[in-house]
Chains A and B, each alone.
Chain A
Amino acid sequence: MADWKELEAKSFYEATARERAIGMVDEGTWTELAGPKDRLTSPHLPVLGEAVEFDDGVVTGVGLVGKHPVFVASQEGKFIGGAVGEVHGAKIVGAFLLANQVYDKIMAECPDEIEERRPAVVISFETGGVRLHESNAGLLAHAEFMDQIQGSKGKFPVFAVIGSKVGAFGGMGFVAAATDVIIMNTYGRLGLTGPEVIEQEMGKAEFDSADKALVYRTTGARHKYIMRDANYLVEDTIGAFHDCIGEVMDLGYAAIEKMRRIGNEELVDEQLALAELSVELHPKDSRDVWAYYGNENPEQLTEITTAEFLATAKRRP
């Protein structure tokens, strides 16, 4: 199957939401749910004269990774910047609900096989957060995501995969941070307030959003990986994300639970210590932090390949 090989080798960064969704599960196992054929378009956009999309900007469905049923929600940044509206949000919540049902079913029918059959939710983030045209519904959806992630604890892992053009910003930056595992490629960006908004509020001297290199080394994957805000950094192919999800699932749930960055007192203390460090260190640039963690040539860290970076970069202990 040349087509499948092509899909797995395709740049994750270049791929559409649908290509990412299909390629992150095993070959031939993908079923799209609430897809374009269901024509679930936004009820709010037409009155505002805004174009609609049959999937409302998110591809949802299920496939297998090994024996694990994996529920995927993949956001499409080209449609209104991947922003979360009512239908879009409900579809993502739907993925969680189905994962819960499957988890319950496995526990009821074959509880001793849970480790090898444990479901997972994978969200491919490409979004700036709430869709302003339907902001109440969008905000509510964010709250539901957080609730669902909380509810998944102890049952199944939630993956954040980030490596598309828009990145993961706004409220969805919080949502990504609350997942169990974050996987990024080198083009992935994760943050709360978008660079343009920071510049608008704080001035160009504080943060020049036109300086893409600055934006990337502040919000980009390499920085997040060094800081351990991201658990994995992978090559920019759909297959690399697919493989990484499989490898993480193989580690078992106990190991996955340790990958979280928030969620218990110990982790909160760790985050507070980081806040203190930032006051003490007063870094002017993320490179200062990289140097602090023992990287001798911080300006080189953005220039080398992902493989070289993974081999040489020193991360926060």
Chain B
Amino acid sequence: MEFVNPEGLRLDGRRPMEMRQLRAQIGAVAKADGSAVFEMGNTKVIAAVYGPREVQNRSQQINDQALVRCEYSMANFSTGDRRRKPKGDSTNIACENAIFGCTNHWFMFVMCFVMANESIRRRSTEISLVIRQTMEECILTNLMPRSQIDIYVQVLQADGGTRSACINAATLALADAGIPMRDLVTSCSAGFLNSTPLLDLNYVEDSAGGPDVTVGILPKLDKVTLLQMDAKLPIDTFENVMQLAVEGCKAIANYIREVSFAREYQTAGVSTWLVVHKKGIRAHIQAPTLAWLLLDFQLSSHHLKLVAYTGVATS
């Protein structure tokens, strides 16, 4: 199949190094301590953070750092084919079909469900683990001993790159919850099809069976925290593809920073900004909602003013 046409355009009309449209919104779940919706093209993910709070299960408590937990779930309607739910219920209609129709089919139905469900379950466990490890890496867990932070990620629409979208949404939600972090982790994927490195694969490209490199970076520290690839690639091509993914991560980092600045401006109010503006940045680490933001960002006062006036940063 042709994934890049002779004019150099991909199936959805993008250039090979072009990312899908990003959209983010902070504060989607009223009751959560922090939440965000993150969209990459048609992939849409919602993340909510609860905590830091008391550890619910005492046996899991860690005395010198916070316990970070993560659960990933997919909505029934998130994929093109309606996914059969792993736990109960959804076989209802199939049951009726089977019982009123033919009893032999019934057996096959059940077998299919069991197998499909098993792989779905395994996949969500794996993604939960990836997200948890990635986020744990950048949260300053030692500042919150004996407490628990829960990250819940819900996929609303899956069109490739859910893993990356989940991590980006989780970062924003953690930032919204005011949880101290080393940096804002961002993630992006890249692939290699028709001997062309492609940034940010969508579902069709992802299921083509080519290599899919998912990278997560700490943009300010310039460190890679997550690197996953399936299929094989020559080492020099791999470097190119990975570099492309890293560039994607950086672009996302810029976007995420814009969104969170705009949000900070809204929530913190102008007066706080003026104080920050006058006294410099480092002095205000104790301001709770700003803490995460000011830890690592070296910004010029000019930049801050810009944010304050327009609500959008252009770094």
Tell me if chain B binds chain A.
no
| Interfacial residues, chain B to chain A (CB-CB below 8 A) | none
Residues of A within 8 A of B (CB): none
